[in-house]
Structure 1
């Protein structure tokens, strides 16, 4: 029986590893060509659509001013631009700071919300902001984001030149990547995710997940969909599936770059990632059980990807780890013990290869310091994700069984987290 479970776990693990190899090949090819596409589009005559930027903000006084400064610096016709900051039931100086900028810059528009319509989380705040928006194109930024001045131009360029794109997704980088070991690990994680999962899936399948920030979506699509799902903790992933279902694709266009702050403490990281895992599991089961009703069966590609990422792949690792530990105390008569060790070593080498390759796509990121961090990442950060997913699955199961109400957790911000030195040292193109 132990051999059977070990075979199953190895299949699940290596299926995902080979799929990641496949995605990384696509990500590499895409990384060599996307700038040529941008150059062609820039050379063509193009218009500037009206843009509404939505910034949900709940108790964001630590970071909101830097975000507003970046909005002022945007290189986009200000008569075609409105920045709607949703001060969502804040108890700090967020609303006051937004009002100060609104008085100086007419294109900045505050929206203040209170219960019962306000204070319910990001999705609710975005829906309240959408009611006030007038632009043809809706862009979303988190309150800790500082997009590069040309980011909106590139997002608009993507939608204007790709009529089949329901949304265009840019790239995000970490401002506080050198703060401590945790932020260095997160920085490596985000770079790998974007070039492996985002770029790879876009190259092979014309599919990309909408992130929580730095994306543009057609207003007409949001209106057809009725806005954001307020029950979803991962409102971005959930929105992606509904955009697919309408027959559109979601384009990954890394010319549009934003910089964002990441958690600097393990407790904050744990809460944020637990919300992500629970939110993605909500999306998996929401669409898995109604898959037969979906018109766009191509969505199975992404549904399978999320199913493996958050359930099957981690289940395989958990089974493998459990068998290894039990075999230390009991003789489980494992006949493929040696082979399993070889596969473990090969899996580790493959992990290191994929991550270092992704780092090579970003200027200044493939360093010896990052390389040794990647080696450490496999036995620390990746294993923490395993425990986290198990914990998040338990919470989500309890929510379903006991019909608990979804509670939104807002990620804690840190003073001084937006290091201009980091941004200047690593211009990500």
Structure 2
């Protein structure tokens, strides 16, 4: 019996490894193609539509000034741009900072919310911002983001040249990547995810998942969908599925770049990633058990991807780890023997190869130091993820069984000390 479960776990793990190798080839292909696409689109940018940038902000006095300054530097016609910052029931100086900027710049428009309409979380703040917006295109940035000057232009460029795209997703970089070992792990994870999952899935399947920041979506789509789901902790993933349902695709366009602050300690990281995991599990449950809501073939493809990560692949890791530990204390009479060791070592080498390749796509990222950190990441950061998903799954199942309200956690910010 132990042999059966070990073979099953190895199959699940290797299935995901091979899938990620497949995605990486797609990501590499798109990395080579993208410069030509960008050059061709720049020659025919089309008419620049009006854009509303929504920035949800709750107690963001530590970072909001840098974010607004980056909005002022955007290379986009200011007469077609409005920056709507939703001061969502803040108790610090966020509102005063915003009002001060609004007096100086007409395109900066604060929206101050209080309960019962305020303080409900990011989705609620975005819906409030949408009500006050006028742009044909809606872009979203988190309050700790500093987009590069051409970010909005590039997002709009993608929508102008790809009429089938319901949304365009840019690339985000880690502002405080060099702060400590944790932020270095996150930086590597971020770059690998974008070139492996985002670029790879776009290259092969014309699919990309909307992130929480640095994306633009057509206003008509948001209005048709009724805005953001306020019960979703991962409002970005949930919105992606509904955009697919309307028959649009979501395009990854890495020329649109923003820089964002990442958690600098494990406590903040744990809370943030637990929210992400629970949010994605909510989306899985919402669409998996309500097939009538699925109107496009891309939804089940993406649903299977998330289901595999959070159930099958995760389950395979738990099973293999459990058998390994149990075999230390009890003789399970495993027949696979040295083959299992060879597979585990090969899997580790595949992981490292994928990460190093992804880092090579970014200037000055495939360094000797980052190469060593990627190795350490496999044994530390990746194993923390397994524990985190287990805890997040327990909390989400508990919430569903006891019909508990969704509790939103806003990621804690830190004093800016890291540079680009």
Shorter-chain TM-score: which interval? over 0.9
Q: CA deviation at 1:328?
A: 0.7
Inter-partner Cα distance in structure 2 for 1:362 and 1:339: 36
- The structure-2 alpha-carbon separation of the partners of 1:230 and 1:324, relative to structure 1 and needing over 3 Å to count, comes to same
Q: Which residue of 2 aligns with 1:19?
A: 19
Deviations along 1:118-170, one digit per CA (max 9) or x if unpaired, are 00000000000000000000000000000000000000000011110000000
Deviations along 1:214-269, one digit per CA (max 9) or x if unpaired, are 00000000000000000000000000000000000000000000000000010000
Q: CA deviation at 1:288?
A: 1.0
Inter-partner Cα distance in structure 1 for 2:276 and 2:45: 40
Inter-partner Cα distance in structure 2 for 1:328 and 1:42: 61
- Please state whether the residue corresponding to 2:401 is helix, strand or coil: helix
Q: Which residue of 2 aligns with 1:427?
A: none
Q: CA deviation at 1:293?
A: 4.8
Q: Which residue of 1 aligns with 2:50?
A: 50
Inter-partner Cα distance in structure 1 for 2:294 and 2:365: 41
Matches within 5 A, 1:18-417: 18-44=18-44, 46-291=46-291, 293-417=293-417
In structure 1, stretches of 5+ residues that fail to align are 424-429
Inter-partner Cα distance in structure 2 for 1:110 and 1:416: 23
- Please state whether the residue corresponding to 1:394 is helix, strand or coil: helix
Inter-partner Cα distance in structure 2 for 1:11 and 1:166: 36
Inter-partner Cα distance in structure 2 for 1:362 and 1:301: 29
Q: CA deviation at 1:14?
A: 0.4
Inter-partner Cα distance in structure 1 for 2:133 and 2:293: 32
- The answer on whether the counterparts of 2:207 and 2:298 sit within 8 Å (CA) in structure 1 is no
Q: CA deviation at 1:394?
A: 0.1
- The answer on whether the counterparts of 2:245 and 2:294 sit within 8 Å (CA) in structure 1 is yes
Inter-partner Cα distance in structure 2 for 1:346 and 1:180: 29
Q: CA deviation at 1:291?
A: 2.8
- Please state whether the residue corresponding to 1:32 is helix, strand or coil: helix
Deviations along 1:27-52, one digit per CA (max 9) or x if unpaired, are 00000111111110111151110000
Inter-partner Cα distance in structure 1 for 2:301 and 2:29: 20
Q: Which residue of 2 aligns with 1:426?
A: none
- Please state whether the residue corresponding to 2:176 is helix, strand or coil: coil
Q: CA deviation at 1:13?
A: 0.2
Inter-partner Cα distance in structure 2 for 1:196 and 1:158: 20
Q: CA deviation at 1:295?
A: 1.8
- The answer on whether the counterparts of 2:147 and 2:257 sit within 8 Å (CA) in structure 1 is yes
Inter-partner Cα distance in structure 1 for 2:219 and 2:345: 49
Inter-partner Cα distance in structure 1 for 2:298 and 2:391: 30
- Segments of 4+ in structure 1 off by > 3 A? none
Inter-partner Cα distance in structure 2 for 1:4 and 1:152: 52
Inter-partner Cα distance in structure 2 for 1:283 and 1:65: 33
In structure 2, stretches of 5+ residues that fail to align are none
Give the length in aligned residue pairs: 420
TM-score in terms of structure 2 length: 0.99
Deviations along 1:380-424, one digit per CA (max 9) or x if unpaired, are 00000000000000000000000000000000000014x33xx2x
TM-score in terms of structure 1 length: 0.97
Q: Which residue of 2 aligns with 1:2?
A: 2
- The answer on whether the counterparts of 2:45 and 2:160 sit within 8 Å (CA) in structure 1 is no
